[in-house]
Chain A
């Protein structure tokens, strides 16, 4: 399996996107300007490792919020699939549907697996000026945890509205 692209590296501007977050709703990266954003690309709803990864992030969400950070999960699944998955796992953050054109945002970030039609298990931490500050691609079957995300958030300049550290 050849990866056709490489993930965007720290220092690169984060490509803007607008994706459905729920039936009839969208989220745009530019709307979140001024706050750190965590993008968690993952291969698919319902697969066991992803479920654990999203369940883990759900548990750690209060910690992300202390940094004023917004967590967005992204996969190529459609909004109704995301809705059922999020309800089943009681997820308290948005899952974005990179569904049409399929995988376009994953491609823009260099984390689309062409042969399989899914996103890598990839993490990006983006600062309030929409610059990528940290990126990481995990082996697809290994849940990367949250330690790298928290270390990257630690290194961001504390901005207005971010939690005191």
Chain B
């Protein structure tokens, strides 16, 4: 009995709401990561995803959605909201990268400092964090992950199916390449 078809299918299709890297909707393969900026495994996966993108090239679209495990990662929720706050100023991916690179320092003052370093309006980020402006968006990502069978962080979906194998660079690249072959 295969778990596929019963659990582990992306419940919320990738769309306009998402933060994407790479080509638009015409890419043969979409890789979705559900991640948590305070999760050490997601930190490990961060350069791996970059490497997979560089190997596969323009055939791959990458999407990051939030899945903060707040019970074990006390800074994860605010970090996710800070990424959204940066996104509201057009810099989601710059903040995404910065948060993984500085995972050791994710206090609110650090989050605001990173925004300023990226040339963003730090006061606006601070205000949006305080007002929980992006809380609902992060929750929406989280619940879409729950409904899709996200089973820890990071969880990857390749063209809508949960990737249950290793996400080491070679196996993740191979899985993406297999999906490319199916689609082209």
A interface, CB within 8 angstroms of B: 49, 52-53, 55-56, 58-60, 63, 89-90, 92, 136-139, 142-148, 150
Contacts and interface: CB of A to CB of B under 8 A. Distances in A.
B146 A63 contact: yes
Contacts of A137: 1
A60 B9 CA distance: 18
A123 B150 CA distance: 16
Nearest to B41: A52
Closest A-B pairs by Cβ, 6 of them: A145-B149, A143-B151, A52-B152, A145-B151, A147-B149, A148-B7
Contacts, number: 64
Contact of B149 (A55, A139, A148): A148
Interface in B1-27: 1, 3, 6-9, 11
A77 to B, nearest CB: 20
B72 A56 contact: no
**What is the predominant secondary structure among interface residues of chain A facing chain B?**
helix
B147 A144 contact: no
B147 A59 contact: no
A165 to B, nearest CB: 13
A142 B3 contact: yes
B143 interface: yes
B103 interface: no
Given A59-B71, A145-B149, 17 more contacts: A52-B152, A53-B152, A55-B69, A55-B71, A58-B71, A136-B6, A138-B7, A142-B164, A144-B7, A144-B149, A144-B151, A145-B7, A145-B146, A145-B151, A146-B149, A147-B7, A150-B147
B155 to A, nearest CB: 8
A145 B8 contact: yes
Given A52-B152, A63-B143, A139-B3, A147 B69 contact: no
| Interface bin, chain B | 20 to 34
B148 interface: yes
Contacts of B69: 55-56, 59
B33 to A, nearest CB: 15
A156 to B, nearest CB: 17
B70 interface: yes
Given A55-B72, A59-B71, A144 B3 contact: yes
Nearest to A142: B164
B72 A90 contact: yes
A142 B72 contact: no
Contacts of B1: 137
A63 B150 CA distance: 15
Interface in B129-184: 143, 146-152, 155, 162, 164
Given A89-B72, A142-B164, A147-B11, A60 B146 contact: yes
Contact of B151 (A52, A89, A92): A52
B3 A147 contact: no
B152 A56 contact: yes
Contacts of B8: 145, 147
